Every structure is written in structure tokens, then in C-alpha cells.
Chain A
Amino acid sequence: MSATTETFATGMPVEIGKIERELKKLWEQGGEKMTRASLINLAVYSEAPDSLRANTRIIAQITEDHASRAIVIAADPSAKEDRVEAWISAHCHVSRAGRKQICSEQISFALAGSLAKLLPNIVFSHLDSDLPFYLWWQGEFHDPMDAQLWTWVDRLIYDSQPWCDFDAQMRLVQTAQEEANQRVVLCDLNWTRLVQIRLAIAQFFDAPAALEHLGSVQRVEITHTTGHRSTAVLLAGWLAAQLGWALVEGADETTLSFSDCAGEAIRVTLQETEGEPISRCSLHCGTTEFRVLHPRGADLLEVGTELDGTERTHQLMPASRNDPVSLMSEELMRGGPHRVYLRAVEAVRELL
């Protein structure tokens, strides 16, 4: 992380047609002290009130580790009056070497009324050429989605956690993905939330002797906080997809039933407690329990095994943080095609 961050939060209003020219001026003013850096085009779309300010704050932090051309869009399709406004700004921080200010540029748009539909037309003409384009879509997708978007997007980032109807939303996303010939990588921040817990669970079974336990999981307990049942179900979906479990009918709000390849039953219980999105995940294999705990507010996971109720190993591992900046930074760092995510979704889709 850099030593200091300077953010021109409000930005400078610019005419839509003069954005590139004004950006050039901005860099000329900075002189040799500022170095423009950009590895990706990162567009953020939101229809939430006051999202421009909130997302500018988020982008200022994300760009410390992920140099980007950021395009922040605040849309209000329901506004009666048509309106388009644009601003430019820069987020600068001192490089690790401590000599130069490394800056990412941000172009912000407010689109109101029918002009919100011009999103691809107005906004995506300002992409930095040749760089990959990540679109972070905040909130629910529209039905139908604008097919024009998908010809541009490389990675579509969304958070399925607050979705009311996962299946309907996922269908929209997958249709869009098909329209783009499967080129778009789907990045669900609800899946990103699980990265550190998945790593902690996975490492239990690295040793050949421990690997055998994966074939004898009988019971899984997952504790989640209010509103994060979908995160817990996704975690169960990951285990099911990777371990070859099939969903058995008869699931209720707190119990999911699976059967493994040998037809043995596996019961997954979900418990709701205030705390971290997933505060506990325990795998019971015979008399051995593999347990990951995320105490409330902690940035470390407590990871341990118990045999017949006696603790055998205990370790601290990094925990995911559940704020947008951390989740996005984690997601941008990992990359990859996310095939495992799609398998996990398919394993429990009807429960999400």
C-alpha cells in the first residue's frame, strides 16, 4: 500500500465532447511529478442516489493497488428530465519507490432520464484502447440487458448477495454471456467473499493422508449473518461441485441434503448469527472436525482441526474483509476464468 493518497474527489466538470482534451490538460498540469498508470478500464455503474461520491471514494482506494482508467457512472433512468454531465479527476499516490506520484484518471458521468440508455454510446467511447474492460454493475440487472454492452466487456463484476431473485438475474447474466460468445468472465463478489474461507478449508486436505477425509464428509455446519444465506449456500455449492455431491430434494431454510458418489448422505446445516458474512464452517468427517472460524470484526481466520473433541492443529490465516474496496481489490488481483464459481452455482442454483 502506498504512503499517501491524494484524491481530487469532486472532479472538474467537462463537456462530454472535450473529455480527452481536458484529460490531456490535466496531465500536462501535473508535469513530470505525476505518472499516469493504467492496466485496465474499470467502469462502475450504479443507480443508487449519491453513488457518484461513494464510488469515487472507493475508486480512489482501489487504484492504489490497481492502476486503472476509471469510469464512474451514476444513472437515474426514472428522472423526468434528460441530463448528461461529466467530470474528470485523478487519484494519485506515492509509488513504493517513493519518488513519483502514480495517478489513475477517473471520468465520471451522471446520466438521467432517457439518456441513461445511452450508456454504451456515451461512456464506452472513453475506454483506454487495448486495455481490458471490467464493468462493475452495482445492483440488479435490467431486463432485457443492453446487448451492445457485451461486445465491450471482458469481466462483468456484480454482487449476487442482495439479489431478490437469483435465478432470474443469473439468467439475464448468462444470456448476456451467450451473446458475447462466452467471452465475458462472470465475477460475483459474493463468491469473492468466500476466497479466504475456501483457501482455509482447502489447505486442510493438501496432505495425501488428509485428502482421504474428503470422501467421508458426513456433516457440514455453516454459520452466516443476516442477509448472507446466499453466501452460505454458495459455499455449500462449492463443496458439492468439487466433491461430486448431488443435491437431494427436501431442503429447507436451514438444512440442505446431498448425496455423494457412493450414495452416502451429507447434511449441510445453515445457522444465522450476527457477525461476519460466514463466521463458521465446519466439516465433520468421522471423528475429525475441520473448522474455520471468523470472529466478528477480526481480520484473521482461526483455522483448526479436532480429533475426538481434542484440538490437533490451530493456525491463523488472513480473512476476507466485507467492504467494497477489499472485495474489489481481491477480485481484481485474482483474475482467472471462474469456472469453479459456475460449477458451484449450478450445484445449488435452485436454492439460491
Chain B
Amino acid sequence: MEQSAGEVRNPLRDGILTRSVPEACTVVIFGATGDLTHRKLIPALYNLAADGELPPELAVIGIARRPKTDDEFRNELQEAVQKFSRQTVRDELWNSFAKAISYQKSEFHDADGYQRLGERLQQIEEERETGGNRLFYLAVAPDQFPPILQHLAAANLNKPREGAWARVIVEKPFGTDLASARELNRIVSEAFPEESTYRIDHFLGKETAQNILVLRFANAIFEPLWNTRYIDHVQITAAETLGLEGRAGYYEGAGALRDMVQNHLLQLLCLVSMEPPTDLRADSIRDEKVKIVRSLRRLTAEAVATDVVRAQYSDGAIAGKPVVAYRAEENVKRDSKTETFVALRLQIDDWRWADVPIYMRVGKRLPKSGTEISVHFQKAPSVLFNKESDALDQNVLVIRIQPDEGISLRMQAKVPGTSFRIESVKMDFHYGTSFGKASPEAYERLLLDAMSGDATLFARRDEVEQAWDFIDRIESAWREPEAPQLYEYPAGTWGPEAADELLARDGRAWRRL
């Protein structure tokens, strides 16, 4: 939680709240009729309002191309909230919240639309006393970012009046490669300074992702072991049973590496491997994260051939139901080379992680959905119980991100009996078992943070660019004439054999989810 120097605190907040307070503002959502707004943003804002977390002055303006009245827009949103909110929608609460919502039809390229937006903002700011604070949310396709940002700047909507702020939240994908990310950063930075730019990665809003730092730095038992002396290797898996779900247009151009590894998985890697920050300020944490991405060993074309496996699913079955191959999905090219699975062997070249391989895998149409990080510790010395064989398992600490968030630790125990048999047992902590209260959705936390000026859980420019620099080298090797093979795996399996071999040649195996 940050508090700028000289900032006067509200004494009545003492002891009531342990996080920063969201400030009154107008949230302007570009792409207001889209899926993200309906499924995530408005339900998140409603839940925050129902929990009494939003400032009463808050206003929401939705902007999209389709013509509709404020009432039509509100009715659509009410239906969406009823469908997607984590809590039951109450009419009196919705009606109170909906008063703050309005709609403006506008083409994103239309300069007049931004003039009208400016007038509307002024009117709302006077009526609702938002203090002139503005939060622009770009819930649109990435190709729309530049015109929106440029028009916001041209209409001076990016410049807050004195004592107020103007911030922008940008959804992923943030660029498609390093060059486009830099260009996008340039365009963003012409409209908004870095400290007002919030690049969202909803994985960081998840309770378990935030808990990684607590687990590591609030427990004295783990950190002394968290290094090359005691850790054998780390695995990060993001598996989903789903296929494209109507996202072919985007996914065909992206693939698993850009869609998941560049952002979500590298963010998780940073949290699990970063050094302790000096304090909990956003930049202190992000400074440490960016050091990790910078220390990731860049892969040469030869290394890509040996340390990266890409694959695409073929016909198969999920939970007993037949599913078609990726190339047979709607709007996918029949000769598509897009990878739906990728497995990587990474190295972080720093003191702590020298010689500790990090294995990552991400894929669609895998047998089971789940995202987790597993830290595999080195085996106990072979002098006592495993003197005659090395059959003893490693201690494994598993951080489950989703679903069924929790932490488990595998350890060795003697099987009761007169013989001396040792088996692995699991100590298992489930959030849902210990804490009855449901966690807020990731977007709730992230929206609150953006309103209160806390950028800790958002990606910084250098993090994003460093991540693309790493990813681009792999993509580049894949475009070469001698590019490594694109494997196939039947839907409903754990990827191609080559992914297993990636670990097998190091004497290791993927953890069974």
C-alpha cells in the first residue's frame, strides 16, 4: 500500500482498512458492449459496490460503436451481472449502482466522439463531484489501442486538471512482439506517463498469485531453502481442457507462447523466483520482477530446438467426448502452424537460481484444467534410508493457482508396520476448506488498485519489453526454414512425447496434476 509524501490521511480509516482506498473517479470503458465488460468488468464493479468498497461519487461511461440508450445499456449490463456476478444481484443495489452508468455511441476513430466524451466527462464530474479523476479502460482489441490513445491525447482527456489524475488500463495482449510492444509503449507514453499506465494481467489479481509472496517472505522456513543449494528444479503448468471457444481470430495469430507464456507464466515465474523487495511499494516489487525476466537466459536457435517443444492438438477426446483437431476448428486455417501447446526448459542466470532448470508447459485440450507451480527440492543424501536405492521421492511444494487454490507439501513418511517402508505423503492446504469466505474476483482487486493508484499487480513497461525480448527469440527460431518440428498430440493427452523427453533427458518427469 502506497502513500505519497505529504499526503494527508483520513484519520477515520485507522484500523478499519488494510489497503489503499479507491478514489472517486469516472471509469470510461472503451469496448463497453464486449465480452470482457459484460463478463468481468461490470460484475466486478457491481460486487465492489455491493460490498461498499466503491466511492459514492464513482461514475461509469461505456463507449462502443452500437447505438443504444443509457437505459438499454443498463438493462444489458443488469442481465450480464445476474449471469456472471459472484453474488446474487439485488434490485435496490443494482438500481443505486446503475444510476452511475451511462452510454455513449462512438467510433473509436471519430474525433468528434472524443469531444463529446470530454463534455460528458465535465458534466459528470460536476454532477457527481468525482474531483476530475479519470480511469480509461481499453477493453478492446489491441489494434484499437493506438487510435483510442491518440484521440484521448488529441482531445486533452489524458491531462488531468490540477490535483486530479488520469490513468489508463490496458488489457493484454500488450503487443505481439518486442517491436510492436515498444511501439505501443511509445504511443501509450505519449498519452499517459508510465506511473499512470496500468497493464493488466488478471493472473496477478488472483488470491493465490498474491499469496506466493506471503508464502515466501512471511514464513521463515522456506526462504533459506529457496535457492540452487536446495532446489532441484521448478515446474510451472497451465493446462486447460478448453479449445478455442470462439477465439480463433486472435489465437491463430498468437499461439500458446504469446497468449500465455509471455504474460501469465512469466509473471508467475517472477513471483516465485524474485529476490525479496526492499518494501511493498509497487516499484520495489516490480524492480525485483524485472530483474528475473532480464536474467532469463535468452535462447539461441539451437537452444530452441533442444529446450522448447511446440505442438498442436489433433482429434481426440475430453472427458470421454470426442473433440476435433485444432485445424478442424471454426475459422482456423487447415494448414495452421499455430502451437496450442508449448513446453520450455528455462534458466535464470543469477546467483540464486544458477543451474536450477525451470520447466514450463502450457496447453489447450489437455486432460485436466489447472495452473500450478511446483518447487522440487533436492533429494535427501543417500546415506540412511535410501542407501540401497534412490527410490525416495523429492520433497515437492505445490502452489495451486487454480482451481481449488491451495498449497501442498510432499514429504516422506514411514508406513506403519514392522517393516521399514517409506512412502510419500502430502500435507494439503485448501483455501476453500480453511477459509469459508469466497475470494473476490481478480478484476475486483485490480480495479480497486487502479482506482487507488496502486500499480503493484500491474506489469511495468520494462517487464513487458523484457518478456517480449525473451519470447521473440523463440518465435524467430520457429520462423526459420530449419525451424524445429511442430508436433501433434491427441486432444485429451498431456502433450507430445517430446515434452516428456525434455525432462526425461535431465532425469526428471512432469508432475502429475
| Known interface pairs A67-B436, A96-B432; A314-B52 also in contact (CB < 8 Å) | no
Residues of the A chain whose Cβ atoms lie less than 8 Å from the Cβ of B17: 199
Select the stretch in B4-12, B339-347, B354-362 that faces chain A: B4-12
Given B16, B23, B438, which contacts A202 in the complex, CB threshold below 8 Å? B16
**Given known contacts A35-B433, A37-B434, A314 and B12 CB-to-CB distance under 8 angstroms:** no
Count A/B pairs, Cβ under 8 Å: 107
Could you give, for residues 41-59 of chain B, a 1 whenever the CB lies within 8 Å of some chain A CB and a 0 otherwise? 0000000001110011100
Are A65 and B23 in contact, CB atoms less than 8 angstroms apart?
no
The reply to whether the CB of A84 lies closer than 8 angstroms to some CB of chain B is no
CB of B134 to closest CB in A, whole Å? 15
Binds B, one of A162-170, A247-255, A335-343: A335-343
A175 to B237, CA, bound (A): 55
Q: Could you tell me the distance between the alpha carbons of A119 and B76 in the complex, rounded to whole angstroms? A: 60
A292 to B52, CA, bound (A): 13
Asked whether, in the complex, the Cβ of A100 is within 8 Å of the Cβ of B433, the reply is yes
Chain B, residues 461-491, CB within 8 Å of chain A (1/0): the string is 0000000000000000000000000000000
Residues of B close to A312: CB separation below 8 A = 129
Interface of B is mostly: loop
Minimum CB–CB distance from B142 to chain A (whole Å) comes to 34
Name the contact of B16 in the complex, choosing from A64, A198, A304, A318 (C-beta under 8 A). Answer: A198
Considering the complex, give the chain A residue whose CB is closest to the CB of B56: A315
Known interface pairs A206-B24, A207-B129; 6 further A-B residue pairs with C-beta atoms within 8 A, sorted by A's residue number:
A65-B437, A203-B55, A207-B131, A211-B8, A318-B51, A336-B15
Most chain A beta-carbon contacts within 10 A, residue among B17, B52, B96: B52
In the complex, are the beta carbons of B11 and A214 less than 8 A apart?
yes
**CB-CB contacts below 8 Å: A29-70 with B:** 35, 37, 39, 64-67
Given A207-B24, A211-B10, are A64 and B436 also a contact pair (CB < 8 Å)? yes
A26 interface residue (CB < 8 Å to B)? no
Does chain A have a CB within 8 A of B404?
Answer: yes
Contact status of A208 and B15, CB under 8 A, knowing A67-B436, A313-B129: no
In the assembled complex, the Cα of A102 lies from the Cα of B430 at a distance in Å of 11
* List of A residues within 8 angstroms of B435 by Cβ: 39, 65, 67
In Å, the complex CA distance between A97 and B433 comes to 9
- The chain B residues found within 8 Å of chain A, CB to CB, are 8, 10-18, 21, 23-24, 50-52, 55-57, 92-93, 96, 128-129, 131, 163, 403-404, 430, 432-438
Q: Does A300 contact B (CB under 8 A)?
A: yes
Interface membership of chain A positions 316-346, coded 1 if the CB is closer than 8 angstroms to chain B and 0 otherwise = 1110000000000000010010111100000
Assembly CA distance A199 to B128 (angstroms)? 20
Q: Of the candidates A97, A211, A313, which one forms a contact with B432 in the assembled complex, judged by CB atoms under 8 Å apart?
A: A97
If A65-B437, A333-B437 touch, whether A316 touches B96 (CB-CB below 8 Å) is yes
Report if A206-B93 is in contact (Cβ < 8 Å); known contacts: A96-B432, A303-B56. Answer: no
Q: Is the CB of B433 within 8 A of A67?
A: yes
Given A67-B434, A312-B129, A339–B15 Cβ distance below 8 Å? yes
Look across to chain A and name the residue whose beta carbon is closest to the beta carbon of B51: A318
A and B contact pairs by CB, cutoff 8 A, 6 listed: A65-B436, A96-B438, A199-B17, A199-B52, A304-B56, A339-B15
Give A93's nearest chain B residue, CB to CB. B436
Q: Which residues of B contact A313 (CB under 8 A)?
A: 56-57, 128-129
Q: Whole-angstrom distance between the alpha carbons of A336 and B16 in the complex?
A: 9
Q: Select the residue from A2, A199, A207 with max chain B CB neighbours within 10 A.
A: A207
Q: Which B residues lie within 8 Å of A35 (CB)?
A: 433
Q: Which B residues touch A315, using CB under 8 A? A: 56, 96
Q: Are B8 and A207 in contact (CB under 8 A)?
A: no
Contact with B along A190-214 (1 / 0, CB 8 A): 0000011011111101111101001
Known: A209-B131, A318-B51. A243 touches B23 (CB 8 A): no
The CA of A336 and the CA of B17, in the complex, are separated in Å by 10
Q: Tell me the complex Cα distance, A203–B53, Å.
A: 9
Q: List A residues 1-19 near B (Cβ within 8 Å).
A: 1-2
> In the bound complex, do residue B436 and residue A340 qualify as a contact, i.e. CB atoms below 8 Å apart?
no
**Is there an interface contact between A198 and B50, defined as CB atoms closer than 8 Å?**
no
CB distance from B443 to the nearest CB of A (A): 19
Chain A residues lying within 8 Å of B13, measured Cβ to Cβ, are 202, 206
Q: Which residue of A lies closest to B24 (CB)?
A: A207
Q: Is A216 an interface residue (CB 8 A)?
A: no
Asked if A243 meets B11 with Cβ closer than 8 Å, knowing A37-B433, A195-B16, A207-B55, the reply is: yes
The closest CB in chain B to the CB of A201 belongs to B12
Q: Which of B10, B15, B129, B163 contacts A205 (CB 8 A)?
A: B10
Cβ contact of B12, chosen from A97, A208, A242, A333, cutoff 8 A: A242
The answer, yes or no, to whether A95 is at the interface (CB within 8 Å) is yes
Residues from chain A with Cβ under 8 Å of B163 in the complex: 208
Q: Is the CB of A202 within 8 A of B10?
A: yes
Contacts of B11 in A (CB 8 A): 214, 242-243
Q: Tell me, rounded to whole Å, the shortest Cβ–Cβ distance linking A153 to chain B.
A: 21
A75 CA to B373 CA, complexed, in Å: 50
Complexed CA–CA distance, A94 and B220 (Å): 34
Residues of B within 8 Å of A206, CB to CB, are: 10, 13, 21, 23-24, 55
Complex Cα gap A201–B406 (Å): 36
**Nearest-CB distance from B61 to chain A (Å)?**
18
- With A206-B55, A316-B92 as known contacts, state yes or no: A198 contacts B434, CB within 8 Å: no
Residues of A near B16 (CB, < 8 A) are 195, 198-199, 202, 340
Most buried by A among B8, B163, B430: B430
State A100–B10 Cα separation when bound (angstroms). 44
> Is B96 touching A314 in the complex (CB atoms < 8 A)?
yes
Residues of B within 8 A of A39 (CB): 434-435
Question: Which 5 A-B pairs give the minimum distances between C-beta atoms?
Answer: A65-B436, A317-B52, A340-B15, A315-B56, A202-B12
CB distance from A346 to the nearest CB of B (A): 14
Contact B23–A207 (Cβ < 8 Å): yes
Closest beta carbon of chain B to A335's beta carbon, Å: 9
Contacts of A100 in B (CB 8 A): 433
Decide if B436 touches A242 in the complex (CB within 8 Å): no
Contact of B436 among A66, A203, A205, A303 (CB under 8 A): A66
Return chain A residues, CB-CB under 8 Å to B24. Answer: 206-207
> Cα distance A298–B325 when bound, in Å?
55
Are A200 and B57 neighbours in the complex by a CB distance under 8 Å? no
Minimum Cβ distance to chain B for residue A240 (Å): 11
Inter-chain CA distance A37–B438, complex, in Å, is 16
Option from A97, A196, A338 in Cβ contact (under 8 Å) with B52: A196
Tell me if A95 and B433 are in contact (CB < 8 A).
yes
- Closest chain-B Cβ to A236's Cβ sits at a distance in Å of 13
Taking the closest CB of chain B, its distance from the CB of A198, in whole angstroms, is 6
Within 8 Å by CB of A2, from B50, B430, B434, B436, lies: B436
Of B51, B128, B403, which contacts A97 at CB under 8 A? B403
- Chain A: CB-nearest residue to B93: A316
Report whether B15 and A338 are in contact in the complex, using a CB–CB cutoff of 8 Å: yes
Question: With A and B bound together, what is the CA distance between A233 and B403 in angstroms?
Answer: 47
Min distance, Cβ A305 to any Cβ of chain B, angstroms: 8
Interface hub of A35, A96, A195, A304 (most chain B Cβ within 10 A): A96
Residues from 203 to 260 in A contacting B, C-beta threshold 8 Å: 203, 205-209, 211, 214, 239, 242-243
